[in-house]
Structure 1
Amino acid sequence: MRLLACLLAVGVGVTQAARVVYDWNITYVNANPDNLFERRVVGVNNAWPLPPIHVNIGDTLVINAHNSLDVPTSLHSHGMFQNNTPYMDGPVGVTQCAIPPNYNLTYEFNITQHGSYWIHSHYMGQYMDGLRGPLILHNVNETYKYDEEMIVTVSDWYHKQSNDNLNTFMSVYNPTGAEPVPQSGIINDSANTTFTFIPGKTYRLRLINMSGFSTFYISIDGHTLDIIEVDGVETQRTSVDSLYLTAAQRISVLVTAKNNTDLNYYMHADMATDMFDVMPDDLNPNITAPIYYNTNHQNFAPSQDIGMASPFDDFLLVPLVNASIPGPDQSLNLTFNFEVTTDGINRGMFNELPYLQPKVPTLNTMLGMGNLSNNVDVYGPQSMAFMMKHLDFIEVAVSNFDAGNHPFHLHGHTFYMVGRGNGTWLGANAGTTEWFSNPMSRDTILIPSETYVVLRFRADNPGPWFFHCHIDWHLESGLAATFIVAPDVAQQRMTLPQAFLDVCTAGGNPATGNAAGKEGLDLSGAPSGVTLIYDGFTAKGKGAMAACILCALIGMGSIVFYALSDPEKKARAIADAKRQGATPPS
């Protein structure tokens, strides 16, 4: 990997825009991060974990990716808006075809944001095999002052390959949809992580949850965490003793070190075990990393860890810049749940229909189908596509019908967390919603069991943007939708680079056309037909029931006929009828 021309004009206090280039050969590596089991992981340049990417606002980030795996891959820079470059976003089937084995693809885009982000594979749960790492975007002049910064990642860790776990999860033999439970939790991709604080210094800790499943509760004994950023959006400085991070969320906190070295302290990262269907006996959900003020002694402060009892509430955070929230131009009502579908698999779904990846990436269809791109049907019967006009203010109400908590991520935007409530969203005038007049915005939100949230965002970024659960098992099972923002404007502003057509062809996939790879609205062959099992009688079922009833009547009639044809039985039947006061059979 080489890092080119990252130049800082110190004298004038501004950053000169640089072209920051990384050469990534995506390879398999053996690793044992939890000290319990060595396994094959997905690394870069024959090394793992991935080194953090550091760029400055105004830079251009270039990642030359070569796929040396024996399976396809892709890269998603989580939280990047990708204005005018949606083809660099990375989700397979939405903005690109997967990179096939032994093939190259370059991701290149301008850095217009700052804050804490991460980069990960967006293909078939692959980032849980290790293809993920921090992506830090530095501001020219940070709003909050600190002496030093540290990256702190938390993640769950599995001993099996993700494709093996996925095959077990999405199986007719798993009708309840029980997710694979991780074997460990790790901090900074290791069970042996330690930190060192120097007395009196103020540290910015960039907390990033790179899990595929688990939420973590984070605290430091004897220290206050001052929140200054969530998902790249700055907040008014807010002091908490603990906080949670769902899969894919990020929070920056300022921590001021003690003025003496009498004690060392533990950082706690506790997994939310209520998300697991079973709790394995050998899983330690309470992960710690020592923070040393003095490595010459092992005197640690008493534990103050409360884990899942944390009162943290991200809805109560206040943005640094006050939010101005107009009324919505378009409202979208989404409900989600998990049910067994017609293929026998327990799937996640919005509005009772699971997402199925189209044959042609949705962006390719958007940019290549002319006026038909404004017809939601062209994107396929189960791409879960919702059309949105340019610059409209969109309201999305999401109701969780499931018994578990779920983190949802929107690509290409941040959204305002304007409301929430218990039960099901019944509309703005229902009177049960808790509204927030100066709401925080972020790109990933936790929706607790049997509650709803109301989100709003400006549809100012033309392109197709994925909205999905960031529990990767649930994404792969179908808990996703596609927000189609301003196809007409997208066609005016951008042309799909040839490389993103070629990568489809190289993988044996159609590069143009509708969701089926055909012209017009001929969608025959587009992925579809995986739906809820019909709750009632179909026409065939009614016919079968009628046939069963007819057969039963014929059978009963036959029994009566043969009984009455026997003289002795007939005499007994007559006598029985007389005793009961009925008319004897003739």
Structure 2
Amino acid sequence: MRSLGTVLLGLASIGLAQAARVVYDWNITYTTANPDGLFERRVVGVNGKWPPPPVEATLGDTLVINVHNSLDEPTALHAHGMFQNNTGWMDGPSMVTQCPIPPGYDFTYEFDIVQHGSYWIHSHYMGQYMDGLRTPFILHSKNETYKYDYDVTLPLEDWYHGQSHDNLATFLNVYNPTGAEPVPESGFMMHSVNSSLNFVPGKTYRLRLINMSGFSMFYFSIDGHDLDIIEVDGIETKRKTVKSVYLTAAQRVSVLVTAKNTTDFNYYMHADMNIDMFDQLPPALKTNLTAPIYYDASHSKFAPSEDIGMASDFDDLDLPPVLVEAAVEPDHQVNLTIDFQVTTDGINRGMFNGLPYLLPKVPTLNTMLSQGEHALSTEVYGPQTIAHVLKHLDMVEVVLNNLDAGAHPFHLHGHVFQIVARGPGVYTGNRSQAVWSLDNPTRRDTVQVPAESFTIIRFRADNPGVWIFHCHIEWHLESGLAATFIEAPDVAQQRMKLPQSFKDLCAASNIPAEANAAGKQGLDLKGAPSGIELIPDAFTAKGKGALAACVIAALIGMASIVWFAFADPEKKARNIMAAKQQQS
């Protein structure tokens, strides 16, 4: 695929003289908010306010975010969808590409903008973004492919009243054997249940839909209006007219909407939650969210509802990009089977290929850049980082077999990928099982894998570094549904050197900056996080012995019960009296 090369050429074409240094100063703080009007809670905001300010820049700029962590816990920021080519340490996921930012510490994220489109920035530490540390990240181009009059960012969010660490403690618990996720108390568009838009008749609006939820999938539509899709996850698409779209957690879709020529009616936008995702549906939860579009706010006459919600026939497998890129046969295949099972710690966890992801003791990127030739071995990254070493420039095919009864949104850091196939059941290699898209398949960075089915994606390993691949339902990521792609470690070591500020960040957290997954050198992995695995189906020798003892004890117990049940009660009483007289 030519995606990186293309955007770099685009960057060169705008001219260095136009580049700017865009600086944001973020003091990450606690504050309070009540965006759903139901419950005021502590949230994580920026500079004492919530929601955090949106971030905007232009292709060719350098973005700088100066962070001070005023929380009582660590934090880390991820610019979702950024390639971070040759700046992989700026990607953000804690203990993958950086040590977390400890409380009271200052840290700066700085990287060049070589993409344009709709993105978002969020915390990548322990479910923290569900406490509010998330915001749109809009990257403009001076030469947009499509023309419009107004540019509107429209985030979609689910909302919890409980703190994320409390909800995580409830979710990852031996008393939750089914793995039922915490269900949000509410949701809204544009940061509040009281949000609205105003349309000017005849004008064309670009609506940048961004699902910033931790769990929920949304179906979006506008009564009386068509939606013309022009972008998904930062990739411009050929214009396609639909009545509704769905966005799973972390996905973005830009649509053009042409306003009516009259002001006779106002209209409602709809964002309907996918209720299939919720194990239980709280009676008070409003899943059909609405927000008004006013043509004339002086009257309250609204057009009839056309909301169809989950009955939408939208298909994100058919969104061909403007820049045509045909799929090519893969050089390397990775098979990842998605499942949820109770593990040896008694907790129901998400996993790939029967193994949940566990954070290493040292960020994986630090390991790659510090362990020399050992970086070519998956062993050095630890037994449960689900590491896959990829060769430079290989075309990589990832087969995702979802055994779970729920759908899952998977996000690949550092890349966009082609969605080349889907089908029911488990993919066995028989191409007739799937519906294929090979001429110019949809490209994006987050894909929904439907329940009990498979999806096949492909990407070019053209970005040396460490890139996590994970479910973007935050509960599932924290439970272990993640893997790491260790991309071209030999090339990365030649091109990159970890900045001193990232080593200092580790020192501030008492974490080794140059070591393997166990915090040691080379292939000495003793002490690396491991041991949380599927409970074995077969009994061990000790297990067989314990089972036999239990069976024998149970048989003796049942025989005793039967004997006492049929014994002559009078004879038993005489025997007891005789025994007492002998003792006296």
Q: TM-score, normalised by structure 1?
A: 0.91
Q: What's the counterpart of residue 431 of structure 1?
A: 432
- Return the letter of the residue paired with 2:459: F
- 1:320-344 CA-to-partner distances (Å, cap 9, x unmatched) read 1112221100011110110000001
- 1:518-539 CA-to-partner distances (Å, cap 9, x unmatched) read 0111111110000001112112
Q: CA deviation at 1:555?
A: 11
The 5 A counterparts of 1:147-166 are 147-166=149-168
CA distance in 2 between partners of 1:471 and 1:76 (Å): 15
Q: What's the counterpart of residue 32 of structure 2?
A: 30
- 1:10-39 CA-to-partner distances (Å, cap 9, x unmatched) read xx9997100101110000011000000000
| Contact kept in structure 2, 1:15 and 1:56, CA below 8 Å | no
- 1:244-289 CA-to-partner distances (Å, cap 9, x unmatched) read 0000000000000000111000000111111000000000001111
| Contact kept in structure 2, 1:207 and 1:250, CA below 8 Å | yes
Is residue 393 from structure 1 mapped to residue 395 from structure 2 by the alignment?
Answer: yes
Q: What's the counterpart of residue 474 of structure 2?
A: 472
| Contact kept in structure 1, 2:16 and 2:60, CA below 8 Å | no
Q: What's the counterpart of residue 460 of structure 2?
A: 458
Matching residue within 341, 344, 353 for 2:343: 341
Q: What's the counterpart of residue 330 of structure 1?
A: 332
| Contact kept in structure 1, 2:176 and 2:348, CA below 8 Å | yes
- 1:218-255 CA-to-partner distances (Å, cap 9, x unmatched) read 00000000000000000000000001000000000000
CA distance in 2 between partners of 1:87 and 1:77 (Å): 12
CA distance in 2 between partners of 1:244 and 1:43 (Å): 28
CA distance in 1 between partners of 2:554 and 2:195 (Å): 72
CA distance in 1 between partners of 2:49 and 2:238 (Å): 39
Q: CA deviation at 1:545?
A: 4.1
Q: What's the counterpart of residue 564 of structure 2?
A: none
Q: CA deviation at 1:403?
A: 0.5
Pair 1:170–1:549, CA change in 2 (3 A): closer
Is residue 376 from structure 1 mapped to residue 378 from structure 2 by the alignment?
Answer: yes
Q: What's the counterpart of residue 354 of structure 1?
A: 356
SS of 2:354's equivalent in the other structure is coil
Q: What's the counterpart of residue 507 of structure 2?
A: 505
| Contact kept in structure 2, 1:14 and 1:140, CA below 8 Å | no
- Return the letter of the residue paired with 2:373: N
CA distance in 2 between partners of 1:430 and 1:238 (Å): 28
- 1:114-149 CA-to-partner distances (Å, cap 9, x unmatched) read 000000000000000000000000012000000111
Pair 1:556–1:125, CA change in 2 (3 A): closer
Q: CA deviation at 1:317?
A: 1.2
Pair 1:549–1:203, CA change in 2 (3 A): closer
- Return the letter of the residue paired with 2:134: R
Pair 1:508–1:178, CA change in 2 (3 A): same
- Return the letter of the residue paired with 2:434: T
- Return the letter of the residue paired with 2:453: T
Q: What's the counterpart of residue 297 of structure 2?
A: 295
- 1:536-577 CA-to-partner distances (Å, cap 9, x unmatched) read 2112112334556788999999xxxxxxxxxxxxxxxxxxxx
SS of 1:314's equivalent in the other structure is coil
SS of 1:23's equivalent in the other structure is strand
Q: What's the counterpart of residue 255 of structure 1?
A: 257
SS of 1:431's equivalent in the other structure is helix
| Contact kept in structure 2, 1:15 and 1:140, CA below 8 Å | no
Q: What's the counterpart of residue 57 of structure 1?
A: 59
- Return the letter of the residue paired with 1:355: Y
CA distance in 2 between partners of 1:99 and 1:452 (Å): 37
| Contact kept in structure 1, 2:32 and 2:40, CA below 8 Å | yes
The structure whose Rg is larger is 1
- Return the letter of the residue paired with 1:279: L
SS of 1:109's equivalent in the other structure is strand
The 5 A counterparts of 1:222-237 are 222-237=224-239
CA distance in 2 between partners of 1:20 and 1:547 (Å): 71
| Contact kept in structure 2, 1:116 and 1:208, CA below 8 Å | yes
Comparing 535-544 with 347-356, greater Cα deviation is found at 535-544
Q: CA deviation at 1:511?
A: 1.8
Q: CA deviation at 1:50?
A: 1.2
The 5 A counterparts of 1:115-134 are 115-134=117-136
CA distance in 1 between partners of 2:168 and 2:55 (Å): 29
Q: CA deviation at 1:479?
A: 0.1
Runs of 5+ unmatched residues, structure 1: 1-11, 558-586
Aligned residues: 546
CA distance in 2 between partners of 1:413 and 1:112 (Å): 13
- 1:28-69 CA-to-partner distances (Å, cap 9, x unmatched) read 011000000000100000111012111000000000111000
- Return the letter of the residue paired with 1:195: L
RMSD: 1.8
Matching residue within 484, 487, 509 for 1:485: 487
Q: CA deviation at 1:434?
A: 1.0
SS of 2:522's equivalent in the other structure is coil
- 1:75-132 CA-to-partner distances (Å, cap 9, x unmatched) read 0000000000000000011101110100011100000000000000000000000000
SS of 2:432's equivalent in the other structure is coil
Q: TM-score, normalised by structure 2?
A: 0.91
Q: Percent same amino acid among aligned pairs?
A: 68
- Return the letter of the residue paired with 1:426: T
Q: What's the counterpart of residue 570 of structure 1?
A: none
Q: What's the counterpart of residue 218 of structure 1?
A: 220
- 1:393-451 CA-to-partner distances (Å, cap 9, x unmatched) read 00000011000111000000000000011000111x34211111220100001111001
CA distance in 1 between partners of 2:265 and 2:198 (Å): 12
- Return the letter of the residue paired with 2:110: E
| Contact kept in structure 1, 2:423 and 2:433, CA below 8 Å | yes
Comparing 71-80 with 431-440, greater Cα deviation is found at 431-440
CA distance in 2 between partners of 1:459 and 1:430 (Å): 24
- Return the letter of the residue paired with 1:515: A
Pair 1:289–1:502, CA change in 2 (3 A): same
Q: What's the counterpart of residue 284 of structure 1?
A: 286
Q: What's the counterpart of residue 40 of structure 1?
A: 42
CA distance in 1 between partners of 2:555 and 2:262 (Å): 91
Pair 1:551–1:162, CA change in 2 (3 A): closer
Comparing 28-37 with 541-550, greater Cα deviation is found at 541-550
SS of 2:317's equivalent in the other structure is helix
Pair 1:549–1:460, CA change in 2 (3 A): same
- Return the letter of the residue paired with 1:154: L
CA distance in 2 between partners of 1:496 and 1:296 (Å): 59
Q: What's the counterpart of residue 497 of structure 2?
A: 495
- Return the letter of the residue paired with 1:239: T
CA distance in 2 between partners of 1:556 and 1:47 (Å): 67
Runs of 5+ unmatched residues, structure 2: 1-13, 560-584
Q: CA deviation at 1:504?
A: 1.3
Q: What's the counterpart of residue 74 of structure 2?
A: 72
| Contact kept in structure 2, 1:51 and 1:133, CA below 8 Å | yes
Pair 1:553–1:67, CA change in 2 (3 A): closer
CA distance in 2 between partners of 1:53 and 1:328 (Å): 37
CA distance in 2 between partners of 1:185 and 1:552 (Å): 53
CA distance in 1 between partners of 2:106 and 2:53 (Å): 20
CA distance in 2 between partners of 1:137 and 1:539 (Å): 61
SS of 1:149's equivalent in the other structure is strand
Is residue 537 from structure 1 mapped to residue 567 from structure 2 by the alignment?
Answer: no
| Contact kept in structure 1, 2:219 and 2:312, CA below 8 Å | yes
- Return the letter of the residue paired with 1:417: I
